[in-house]
């Protein structure tokens, strides 16, 4: 199956849409006796403990969130201390909550269903206190485990089509998903969640790297089977999602990599049995790149399909009144809570107070989260694939209604005025959370234009970009001592609600923002 067979992406997207009817006719139930464990555990590999004493960067969270990591100058040395802080504040355990049946481990980044199916791997050269190799990060004991000894960066660079940041980085973080750890609850829709949950991890990772002055970039172009082979992943049950090179030396080329021999590594079973969802595997295969030449071609595809993306959320119409300029806080007025403090207190708000937030708070969150994401498919300054549509329920100085955000103008265009709390609740799968929230932000993309530009792999890109921005909104909300919660949605109903403006667009993500009903949580 080819990346250019666009019917594959449409078949998966349409086949995993939620509707009022699909939710109520689905016989699926949660088999608690068969719930998968939230960790990938190699019982026969020795742990290499990471430093436990984690230092503060002393960088304000709202500054780190908005910094474009690929434009930074590399620090002199990348150490395991820096890596420990990146791993902990991206995917580490930040809270432990005991209950009568056991203990829940909450992570640094939000994850659908708190099922934590995203794993991080490290491919690095010799570092001052870590040998060159391929490693897996284990959050359960905050350790690395070596899968391969030697410098495999040249192998990874070739698999990425000699992407310059990968070729010159002393270390590359590889993000992967084990499907079953999320599909246990969400079934075939879990492939969307792969990129939703990878995106929130990446929002943290980019912010932590920026706080340390470390260049970082999201790379989505790579030969899937080759990177999976390097990590010894089970291609039927696991998938590589993204690469993040850390640091760079423009004059450096990695040495030739050792042979990538097959590995047989014992992995602790996730649960008593697993259920296969063929639609997940089919979508991943349909959006995979087969060789380095295809990767290079994918990055350089003809730009004639970008018109719908570069035109902005209003197409060529521009902003239509009424338009409301936003009032984001200046750098000298933002809260100075450090990034680490904000990540430690971040959660997913399960109940919002029906109280308004200020226009300055909303403005700051939107402006900081949309300054650009360093990627290999659109770059930091390139056009965003997603447009932000808002249901405003309670913002001082802003009439309740439906809006679309124009990032270049830092303004909201009013689409329709009115109290839409009930509609917001319905669109968010009939839950109270979006009805009670001050604002609900929907990420919509022109999926046809995205697929024509990037093939089926564009589906991954649109999902991932939306969730990285949503992850930045998460952190921005908690930096302002507000709450946030990512939600699922009724796909077509959301598009219809924002139409005719959003006609033809597809929903990628939904996040609710506001004041938590539990004081002191935000």
Q: Matching CATH topology for 45-269 and 305-514? A: yes
One digit per residue, pLDDT tens: the chain, 522 residues?
799 999 999 999 999 999 999 999 999 999 999 999 999 999 999 999 999 999 899 999 999 999 866 556 656 578 999 999 999 999 999 998 887 777 888 999 999 999 999 999 999 999 989 999 999 999 999 999 999 999 999 999 999 999 999 999 999 999 999 999 999 999 999 999 999 999 999 999 999 999 999 999 999 999 999 999 999 999 999 999 999 999 987 666 778 889 999 999 999 999 999 999 999 999 999 999 999 999 999 998 755 444 444 445 544 356 788 999 999 999 999 999 999 999 999 988 999 999 999 999 999 999 999 999 999 998 766 789 999 999 999 999 999 999 999 999 999 999 999 999 999 999 999 999 999 999 999 999 999 999 999 999 999 999 999 999 999 999 999 999 999 999 999 999 999 999 999 999 999 999 999 999 986 555
Q: How much is the CA Rg of the chain, to the nearest whole Å?
A: 22
Pairing relationship of beta strands 395-396 and 357-358 according to DSSP bridges: parallel
The CATH architecture assigned to 305-514 reads 3-Layer(aba) Sandwich (3.40)
Query: Residue holding tokens 């079953």?
Result: 180
pTM summary value: 0.95
Integer distance in angstroms from the first to the last C-alpha of the chain?
46
520 token code pair? 């002191």
pLDDT attached to residue 156:
97
Query: Starting at the edge strand that comes first in sequence, how are the strands of the sheet with 483-487 ordered?
Result: 323-325, 411-417, 401-406, 386-392, 439-445, 506-514, 483-487
C-alpha span between 92 and 429 (Å, rounded): 30
In angstroms, the Cα distances linking 312 to 315, 452, 502 are: 5, 17, 12
Please tell me the distance from the alpha carbon of residue 240 to that of residue 173, in angstroms, as a whole number.
Answer: 11
Q: What's the confidence (pLDDT) of residue 74? A: 58
Residue with tokens 């979006």: 434
Under 8 Å between Cβ of 152 and 260: yes
Closest to 497 in 3D by CA, of 439, 416, 409? 416
What are the residue ranges spanned by the domains of the chain? Answer: 45-269, 305-514
Q: How many CA atoms lie within 13 A of 456 on its CB side?
A: 21
Say what the pLDDT of residue 102 is. 76
Q: Which CATH number fits domain 45-269: 3.30.870.10, 3.40.50.970, 3.40.109.10, 3.40.1350.10?
A: 3.40.109.10
Contact in structure between 76 and 173 (CB atoms under 8 Å):
no
C-alpha 292/C-alpha 147 separation (Å) is 24
pLDDT of residue 96: 87
């Amino acid at each position: 199956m080819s990346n250019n067979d666009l019917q594959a992406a449409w078949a998966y997207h349409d086949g995993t849409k939620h509707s009022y009817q699909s939710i109520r006719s689905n016989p699926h139930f949660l088999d608690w006796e068969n719930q998968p464990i939230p960790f990938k555990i190699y019982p026969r590999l020795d742990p290499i403990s990471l430093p436990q004493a984690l230092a503060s960067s002393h960088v304000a969270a709202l500054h780190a969130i908005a910094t474009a990591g690929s434009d930074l100058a590399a620090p002199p040395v990348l150490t395991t201390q820096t890596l420990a802080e990146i791993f902990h504040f991206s995917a580490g355990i930040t809270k432990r909550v005991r209950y009568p049946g056991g203990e829940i481990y909450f992570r640094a980044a939000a994850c659908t269903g708190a099922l934590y199916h995203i794993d991080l791997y490290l491919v690095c050269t010799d570092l001052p206190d870590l040998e060159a190799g391929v490693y897996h990060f284990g959050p359960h004991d905050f350790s690395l485990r070596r899968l391969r000894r030697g410098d495999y960066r040249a192998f990874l660079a070739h698999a990425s089509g000699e992407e310059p940041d990968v070729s010159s980085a002393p270390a590359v973080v590889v993000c992967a998903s084990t499907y079953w750890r999320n599909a246990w609850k969400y079934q075939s829709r879990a492939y969307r969640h792969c990129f939703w949950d990878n995106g929130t991890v990446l929002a943290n990772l980019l912010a932590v790297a920026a706080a340390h002055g470390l260049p970082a970039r999201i790379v989505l172009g790579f030969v899937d089977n080759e990177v999976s082979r390097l990590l010894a992943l089970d291609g039927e049950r696991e998938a590589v999602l993204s690469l993040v090179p850390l640091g760079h030396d423009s004059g450096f080329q990695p040495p030739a990599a050792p042979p990538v021999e097959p590995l047989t590594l014992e992995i602790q079973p996730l649960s008593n049995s697993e259920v296969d969802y063929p639609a997940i595997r089919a979508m991943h295969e349909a959006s995979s790149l087969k060789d380095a030449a295809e990767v290079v071609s994918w990055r350089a595809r003809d730009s004639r399909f970008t018109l719908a993306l570069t035109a902005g959320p209003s197409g060529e119409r521009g902003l239509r009144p009424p338009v409301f300029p936003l009032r984001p806080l200046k750098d000298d007025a933002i809260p100075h809570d450090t990034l680490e403090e904000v990540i430690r207190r971040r959660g997913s708000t399960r109940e919002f107070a029906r109280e308004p937030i200020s226009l300055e708070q909303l403005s700051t969150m939107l402006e900081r989260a949309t300054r650009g994401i360093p990627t290999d498919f659109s770059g930091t300054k390139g056009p965003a694939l997603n447009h932000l549509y808002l249901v405003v329920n309670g913002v001082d100085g802003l009439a309740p209604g439906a809006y679309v955000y124009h990032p270049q103008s830092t303004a909201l265009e009013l689409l329709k005025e009115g109290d839409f709390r009930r509609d917001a609740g319905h669109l968010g799968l009939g839950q109270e959370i979006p009805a009670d929230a001050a604002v609900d932000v929907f990420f919509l993309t022109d999926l046809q234009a995205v697929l024509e530009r990037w093939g089926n792999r564009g589906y991954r890109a649109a999902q991932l970009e939306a969730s990285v921005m949503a992850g930045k909104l998460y952190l921005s909300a908690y930096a302002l001592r507000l709450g946030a919660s990512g939600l699922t949605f009724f796909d077509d109903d959301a598009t219809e609600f924002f139409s005719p403006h959003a006609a033809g667009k597809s929903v990628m993500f939904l996040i609710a923002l506001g004041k938590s009903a539990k004081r002191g949580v935000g």
